[in-house]
Amino acid sequence: MAPIRRRRALQLAGGSLSALVAGCVGGSPSAGTDEQTDTPTDEPTETTTDGRTETPTSATEVTGSEQVRYPSGPSEPDWAGADAVGHVALAASRERARALLAPFELPEARREPVVELLRETDFERSLLALVETVGPNGCYRTVEVSNLALSGDRLVGDASAVDESDGETACTEALTYPATLVRVTFDGRPPERATFTITDGWGESADVTGTVEDRIGPDPDDLAGHVRPDDDPVVREPLSCDREGFQRHGSWVDDPPWGLATDDDGAPTFALRVDRLEAGVGETVTVTMTNVGDGVLSTGNRHKYGLQTQTESGWEDVRGATDGDPLSYTDEAIGHAPGDGFEWTLELTEEGLVADHVHADRLVVCPDLEPGRYRFVFWEPAVAVAFDLVE
């Protein structure tokens, strides 16, 4: 099951901001598709306008600001709830700005101002704030920020949903979630937290705080779904196939972690979940992989997974090919913004487990499916979930 958040997949074509953002804040892998894409290799350097290279002292006042509005979105973001009036997310580096902004789709007329804002941002003296709120209808399409100032160790300001109706245009009857990006400059090192008094489209107000260290990706503990059954599995005899020339699909991962992949420093990167722990032949299970990190992270393409069952010989893939040629996979990187990733819906039949796969014309399931414990394991990065097939 998909995590409860606005699922805005990265795309490198057709009106996406992510390609332009990648160009101005450092290269990005190909995103959201299985196509290989050339990406820029030269990362812009940060410069200051006065030529100074020393670390500035802490700021004492706001010296300027610039705002770029985002379009209102009709789908519910992860922060939205019964009492939530808005959300504040901060970026004090180019990489974090990339993670915050890459998921958004913008009309062409609004993309260039965002790109220019990022290109000109000096993070030694500037802080980016993404401020979101909610409106009662389609005429609430933007957020207005005002009264920016320093208060102790934080930036403070006001933010209000703006009704853009003119009294003649009908407003669509649906909640909208407008947002704005604000760059605030200071006379020294920017603060690491900000509190905005946000007023939504109903006139309700609340103080909302964000910090530069807040999680961007969802908390793995908040994701819907399961990792694996708690009880001991039914272990089958080793698999045997009587089809001539059958070669069982290999596994590129010997001991994948359950449910959560991490980077070299132990920080969570991708979480894997299955929507049910038990299913019968002919039913479906849905597996989701979600970027739970705080940056745009890459994986192998969506076809790089194994479907295995536990036997006395260990985990064995239930699929294989009979034509004698090895199965190959392309080696591209697919980029995912925080909260996005892949989703697979698997029909638990011999035909369903090979459908919608790059090698669907060559793969077969042999022998036929039998009750037992099954494992879905993604290879790049290595991570697995399990469920039981029951009669």
Based on the fold, state whether residues 282 and 331 are members of the same structural domain: yes
340-375 exposure pattern, b = at least 16 Cβ within 10 A, e = fewer: bbbebebbbbbebbbeebbeeeebbbbeebeebbbb
In a domain, 50, yes or no: no
For residue 238, being part of any structural domain is answered with yes
Question: 150, 62 in Cβ contact below 8 A?
Answer: yes
Q: Name the phi and psi angles at 41, rounded to 5.
A: -110, -15
By residue range, what is the domain housing residue 176? 18-45+59-211
Instruction: Please indicate, yes or no, whether residues 114 and 175 belong to a single structural domain of this protein.
Output: yes
**Residues 207 and 224 reside in one and the same domain:** no
Query: Does any domain span residue 125?
Result: yes
Is 9's pLDDT higher than 60? no
Q: How many domains does the chain have?
A: 2
Q: Note the pLDDT of residue 247.
A: 93
pTM: 0.75
What pLDDT, on the 0 to 100 scale, is given for residue 391?
Answer: 86
pLDDT in tens, 340-375: 999 999 999 999 999 989 999 999 999 999 999 999
Amino acid 391 reads: E
Q: Phi first, then psi: what are they for 100, rounded to 5°?
A: -70, -35
Rg of the chain in Å (alpha carbons): 24
pLDDT-derived band at 126 (thresholds 50, 70, 90) equals: very high
- Evaluate whether residue 107 is within a structural domain: yes
Q: Are residues 316 and 186 in the same domain?
A: no
In a domain, 5, yes or no: no
Band of the pLDDT at 35, cuts 50, 70, 90? very low
- Domain co-membership, 139 together with 255: no
Strand order across the beta sheet in which 305-311 lies: 278-280, 383-390, 372-378, 305-311, 314-317
Lowest mean pLDDT among 120-129, 161-170, 265-274, 346-355: 161-170
pLDDT at 209 over 80: yes
Name the residue with tokens 């409860």. 4
